[in-house]
């Protein structure tokens, strides 16, 4: 791809994503809609999705940033529903959708139909979790959707490889398919387990934040590439490593964490925006290769397959949610009785994404013997329409559906109370440690500096409790809000003075950067408390 089209893609998708923050429409959906419209503007370059770029270069960093932001403990607590969705549902959808396509499309061989089933089987939860965070879904549902999205791509890619081997005539068998699935899944986990400890050791023994963040950018590609070299699942290797590093991130120094958070937020924002733009821009490419199928016939196939994909998820999710509870007394004792609303939302949040399109574009042009792959262009078209249909239909209706069902969201009061209690325990421990340190004559400090340490500690302890307190009757702010606002005003005033001193050559630019860096850290601390 030329440089200019790439720059236009990144800049345009980022601009639309930024504009989406001022609208009630989730960013992924608005980007797809705009890209669909732009794809037919005269002069817009043809953006053909390259699976050799998307799968090894785009998928690993997106998986890595999603996994490091996930909670290992929460995922472990929801292991059963996550496994049932990310493995069981994907295999079930592959078979059901493949069989439906085989019955629906005359002349489509069953192996090729199963290839289509594997391609559209994995939901892409980027859009779903974006909606979940925006609307305020219960944390359990958000965790399940996030966990599903971390693993289901590995299941789908393995199922696709097995179905593709049968479709191209490589003599695939059920035993061989099960063996390949076990090799990919177990091998991916093993590679991740082998890599995670030495990588974490290396991260904690580097003294430079820049070097640590350079390593951080390389980790997903290294884990993915090594696993693929052993014919294991690169997806699972990345997820295992990222979950471990995210769980142990507190062992890395603060400068690395601050830089890493900013770097990966930027990487995820750019990649997600560009990926959804690429989805919409594929329409001319897909239609151009549709070939002999008439518009009405292809549209009928697309609608029917979309309905099958949506219905299949409902058919799997509701029994998976209620049958384990019916069959196991232990589950009934340990877990609350679920209502129908949670499974309904999870069923409806099955939007497909770029992974499905990337897998579809990797279907070879020919089978063994040189004949054309059966109905390859139709498979591409049906994949595209399924992705667009789920993103638009389900994505646009998910927020009002969540509001209509009135699911209990997060309780800000309870979360603030838990945060305040945790901060109180930490502050008491810190105060005891400070008394121990100051009792040692080697740590002697002038009284004002010792008092300052105590004041800062007291400030952290009281800040959260003040969010639960009364508000200013004039401004509506809590005392904590007012403190942060005044602190930022003071920092802004200091910053203006430093800049004037630089402009009048009392200090040089290097000293200005040093002084501004100090103020930036203080302002960042105030901002993070407010957030």
pLDDT tens digit sequence for 323-377: 988 888 888 888 877 788 889 999 998 888 888 888 888 888 888 777 888 888 8
pLDDT at 413: 67
Q: In terms of CATH architecture, what is 63-409?
A: Up-down Bundle (1.20)
**Mean pLDDT across the chain, nearest whole number?**
85
pLDDT: which is higher, 424 or 69: 69
The answer to whether the CB of 75 falls within 8 A of the CB of 67 is: no
Q: How would you classify residue 479: left for phi > 0, otherwise alpha for psi between -120 and 50, otherwise beta?
A: alpha
The predicted pLDDT at position 335 comes to: 80
- For 286-301, write each residue's pLDDT tens digit: 877 666 666 788 889 9
Distance CA 384, CA 120 (A): 9
Burial class, 359, CB count within 10 angstroms (exposed 0-12 / middle 13-18 / buried 19+): buried
d(CA 196, CA 188) in angstroms, rounded, equals 12
Confidence band of 447 (pLDDT split at 50, 70, 90): confident
Mean pLDDT score, 430-452: 83
The mean pLDDT value for 242-265 works out to 87
Residue 136: pLDDT band with limits 50, 70, 90: low
Quick one: average pLDDT of 10-20?
Answer: 91
Of the candidates 489, 507, 515, 281, the residue with the CA atom closest to the CA atom of residue 387: 281
φ/ψ of 440, rounded to 5, equals -85, 130
* Long-range own/partner contacts, residues 91-94 (CB < 8 A, 24 or more apart): 91/121, 91/155, 91/159, 92/312, 92/316, 93/117, 93/120, 93/121, 93/309, 93/312, 93/313, 93/316, 94/118, 94/121, 94/156, 94/159, 94/163
Q: Taking the CB of residue 350, how many other CB atoms lie within 10 A of it?
A: 26
Q: What is the pLDDT, as a whole number, of residue 521?
A: 80
Q: 91 near 159, Cβ under 8 Å?
A: yes
Instruction: State pLDDT tens for residues 147-184.
Output: 898 889 889 998 998 888 888 876 566 677 788 888 88
Mean pLDDT of 11-34: 87
Question: Which of 317, 356, 243 lies closest to 88 in space, CA to CA?
Answer: 317
Say yes or no to pLDDT of 128 above 80: no
Q: What is the mean pLDDT of residues 121-137?
A: 70
Q: Determine what percent of the chain is predicted with pLDDT higher than 90.
A: 27
Do residues 377 and 291 make contact, with C-beta atoms less than 8 angstroms apart? yes
Whether residue 526 contacts residue 488, with contact meaning beta carbons closer than 8 Å, is answered with: yes
User: What does the pLDDT read at residue 242?
Assistant: 94
pLDDT, one tens digit per residue, over 366-400 is 887 778 888 888 898 999 899 999 988 988 888 88
pLDDT exceeds cutoff 70 at 440? yes
Once rounded to an integer, what is the mean pLDDT over residues 31-46? 86
Q: Tens digits of per-residue pLDDT, 483-514?
A: 778 888 888 888 899 899 888 888 888 888 88
Query: To the nearest 10°, the Cα dihedral for 474, 475, 481, 484?
Result: -100
Q: What pLDDT score was predicted for residue 186?
A: 92
Contacts of 499 (CB under 8 A, 6+ apart): 512
- For the ranges 21-30, 64-73, 210-219, 250-259, the maximum mean pLDDT occurs at 210-219
- pLDDT confidence tier of residue 13, bands split at 50, 70 and 90: very high
Assess whether pLDDT exceeds 50 at residue 531: no
CA proximity to 255, closest of 294, 206, 296, 304: 206
**102-125 average pLDDT score:** 90
The pLDDT of residue 116 is above 90: yes
Q: Give the start-to-end residue ranges of the domains of the chain.
A: 63-409, 411-469, 475-531
Least confident window among 26-40, 116-130, 314-328, 381-395? 116-130
Quick one: pLDDT at residue 530?
47
Euclidean distance between CA atoms 175 and 152, whole angstroms: 21
For residue 127, what pLDDT is reported?
62
Q: How many helices (H) and strands (E) does the chain have?
A: 25, 0
The set of residues, in sequence order, having a beta carbon less than 8 Å from that of 278 and lying 6+ positions away, is: 9, 35, 47, 49, 54, 354, 357
Residues 443 and 335: their CA atoms lie apart, in Å, by 51
In DSSP notation, 142-178 reads HHHHHHHHHHHHHHHHHHHHHHHHHHTTS---HHHHH
Q: What is the reported pLDDT for 244?
A: 94
Q: CA-CA distances (angstroms) from residue 266 to 14, 129, 203, 263, 520? A: 10, 18, 21, 5, 19
Three-state secondary structure call for residue 471? strand
């Amino acid at each position: 791809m030329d440089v200019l089209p790439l720059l236009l893609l990144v800049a345009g998708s980022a601009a639309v994503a930024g504009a989406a923050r001022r609208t009630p429409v989730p960013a992924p959906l608005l980007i797809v809609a705009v890209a669909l419209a732009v794809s037919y503007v005269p002069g817009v370059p043809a953006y053909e999705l390259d699976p050799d770029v998307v799968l090894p270069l785009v998928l690993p960093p997106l998986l890595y940033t999603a996994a490091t932001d996930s909670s290992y403990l929460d995922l472990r607590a929801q292991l059963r529903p996550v496994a049932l969705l990310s493995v069981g549902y994907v295999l079930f959808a592959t078979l059901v959708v493949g069989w439906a396509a085989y019955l629906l499309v005359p002349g489509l061989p069953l192996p090729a139909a199963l290839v289509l089933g594997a391609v559209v089987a994995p939901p892409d939860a980027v859009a779903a979790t974006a909606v979940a965070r925006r609307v305020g879904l219960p944390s359990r549902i958000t965790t399940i959707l996030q966990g599903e999205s971390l693993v289901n791509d590995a299941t789908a890619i393995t199922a696709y490889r097995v179905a593709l081997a049968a479709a191209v005539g490589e003599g695939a068998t059920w035993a061989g398919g099960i063996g390949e699935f076990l090799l990919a899944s177990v091998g991916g986990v093993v590679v991740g387990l082998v890599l995670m400890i030495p990588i974490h050791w290396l991260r904690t023994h580097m003294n430079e934040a820049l070097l640590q963040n350079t390593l951080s950018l390389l980790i997903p590609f290294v884990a993915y590439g090594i696993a693929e070299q052993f014919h294991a699942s690169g997806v699972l290797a990345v997820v295992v490593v990222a979950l471990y590093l995210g769980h142990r991130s507190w062992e890395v120094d603060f400068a690395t964490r601050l830089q890493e958070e900013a770097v990966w937020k930027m990487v995820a924002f750019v990649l997600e925006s560009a990926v959804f733009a690429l989805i919409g821009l594929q329409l001319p490419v897909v239609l151009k290769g549709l070939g002999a199928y008439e518009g009405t016939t292809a549209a009928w196939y697309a609608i029917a397959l979309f309905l099958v994909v949506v219905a299949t998820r409902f058919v799997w999710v509701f029994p998976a949610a209620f049958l384990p509870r019916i069959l196991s007394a232990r589950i009934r004792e340990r877990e609350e009785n679920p209502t129908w609303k949670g499974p309904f939302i999870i069923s409806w949040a099955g939007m497909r994404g770029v992974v499905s399109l990337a897998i579809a574009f990797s279907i070879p042009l020919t089978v063994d013997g040189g004949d054309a792959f059966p109905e390859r262009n139709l498979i591409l078209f049906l994949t595209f329409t399924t992705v667009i249909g789920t993103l638009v239909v389900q994505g646009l209706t998910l927020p009002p559906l969540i509001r209509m069902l009135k699911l209990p969201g997060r309780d800000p009061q309870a979360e603030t109370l838990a945060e305040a209690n945790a901060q109180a325990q930490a502050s008491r421990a810190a105060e005891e440690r400070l008394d121990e340190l100051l009792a040692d004559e080697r740590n002697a400090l002038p009284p004002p500096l010792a008092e300052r340490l105590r004041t800062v500690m007291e400030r952290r302890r009281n800040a959260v409790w003040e969010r639960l307190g009364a508000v200013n009757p004039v401004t509506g702010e809590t005392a904590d809000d007012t403190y942060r606002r005044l602190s930022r005003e003071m920092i802004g005033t200091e910053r203006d003075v430093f800049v004037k001193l630089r402009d009048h050559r009392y200090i040089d630019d290097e000293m200005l950067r040093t002084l501004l860096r100090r103020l930036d850290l203080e302002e960042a601390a105030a901002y993070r408390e407010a957030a």
